[in-house]
Amino acid sequence: MFKIARVGKHLWEEPVISGDRGSGTIFFSGCTMKCIFCQNYEISHDEKGIEISEEKLVSLMLWLQDEGVHNINLVTPSRYGLSLAHTLEKAKLSGLVIPVVYNTSSYERVEMLRLLDGLIDIYLPDMKYADNLLAKKYSGVPNYFEIASKAICEMRRQQPNDIFDGDFIMKKGVIVRHLILPTHAEDSKKVLDFISSVDNRLYVSLMGQYFPTKQVETLCSLFPELQKRITQAEYDDVTEYFFKVGLKNGFSQELNSAIEDYVPTFDLKELQNLLSIL
């Protein structure tokens, strides 16, 4: 069984993923990390969602493909490893031909990723922190850097080249995402050092859309530094470092995109209706 919280076209991923027809996202409930600032708190922490069978998941992928999306985008599917590998094999045997995107916190074991070798076309990993103390403080996990860095190296091993179609929609490759946190630009620079050391051709998505969620606001005495958005100066500082460290490919964001309107909603009735017709 799988537990999912949302299925549908998503237009706000990187342009090479969303294109003009959208990315076919399937949000899985639960996450390997528990970030206090998570914008999808109700599914990552509270695990809101509906349980579905492997057959239903295959049907959802084929339905999204029929809707015309550019890819199937599996969001936080890390806990499913072997079952996900079986399901993707079945989906491909049943006619799934568009690229499969694996959208992950990167806090996962290399052995699990190896089970997916040959089944994932595009890896979309986060690299959240270089400093393990920040990972412990904000996301409640130990040894983040060691675990996530090995995971990203494995993803690059599986997809060593970034391949696009004539419309510059990604067909294969890796895009590493990094969310810049207020007052932590120096840690962001260390993250860029790491990415550059893996492969300076890697695409990097530098995200500036951090905003203090309701959960963060209720913890204001514990995390006063997280009660604000990042400044343009912080964003520019990290962007300049991106070039300084020799990185070549990436995506940047307008800081005014830091609004809650872009955060998906999780309406289980809508999902239930969709499941009932498949």
Q: Which stretch binds ligand SF4 (CB under 6 A): 34-42, 65-73, 146-154, 246-254?
A: 34-42
In terms of DSSP bridges, do strands 50-52 and 2-10 run parallel, antiparallel, or are they unpaired?
antiparallel
- Write down the least CB distance from residue 47 to ligand SF4, Å: 11
Q: Which stretch binds ligand SF4 (CB under 6 A): 30-38, 78-86, 113-121, 144-152?
A: 30-38
Is 31 among the residues that bind ligand SF4 (CB under 6 A)? yes
Which member of 17, 35, 130, 135 binds ligand SF4 (CB under 6 A)? 35
Q: Please, which of residues 195-254 interact with ligand SF4 by CB under 6 A? A: none
Going along 108-197, which residue ranges are E strands?
122-125, 163-164, 170-179
- Write down the least CB distance from residue 209 to ligand SF4, Å: 12
Residue type, 79: R
Instruction: Classify the C-alpha dihedral 34-37-42-46 as positive or negative.
Output: positive
- Write down the least CB distance from residue 135 to ligand SF4, Å: 10
CA distances (Å), origin 137, targets 49, 100, 172, 218, 230? 27, 32, 34, 16, 19
Compute and round to an integer the Cα radius of gyration of the chain. Answer: 18
Is 33 among the residues that bind ligand SF4 (CB under 6 A)? yes
How is residue 262 written in tokens?
A: 């872009």
SS3 call for 231: coil
CB closer to ligand SF4, 96 vs 135: 135
Residue 205 forms beta bridges with which residues? 177, 251
Is 40 among the residues that bind ligand SF4 (CB under 6 A)? yes
Contacts with ligand SF4, residue ranges (CB under 6 A): 31, 33-35, 38, 40, 44, 76, 105, 126, 139
